[in-house]
Amino acid sequence: MSPTDPAQPLLQVQALLTLARELLQADEPSRVLRLTGRALVDVTGARRALLVLTGDAPLCIGFSADGLARTAPRSHPWFPLARGALQGQRPSGPESVV
């Protein structure tokens, strides 16, 4: 299916609804990360992603092109950009933050 296929948005919505149902049923953090990683690859086509969780000590989770989650160090090059986005700052470069 091509990205210009008119059915593409419907398929993405269906995939997100399925993901939401599966996340509500997940009872282990590792399962949540597996589902999230798979969705990043399947729905968005991401080749890499960084999830930053805030709290007393920020936690970084990196996702690879195969959707596998791994702990990422706070020295990750995307960390300052992600943390800034969480604090309401706009990126100044060509990178995008979601």
Residue 70, amino acid:
R
pLDDT exceeds cutoff 90 at 45: no
Instruction: State percent of the chain over pLDDT 70.
Output: 88
| 8 A C-beta contact, residue 63 and residue 46 | yes
Encoded tokens for 52: 């930053």
Encoded tokens for 68: 């596998």
pLDDT at 71: 94
pLDDT at 48: 92
pLDDT exceeds cutoff 80 at 92: no
pLDDT exceeds cutoff 80 at 78: yes
Residues 16 and 64: their CA atoms lie apart, in Å, by: 20
Residue 15, amino acid:
A
Q: What is the pLDDT of residues 10-31, one digit of tens each?
A: 888 898 999 999 999 999 999 9
pLDDT at 95: 58
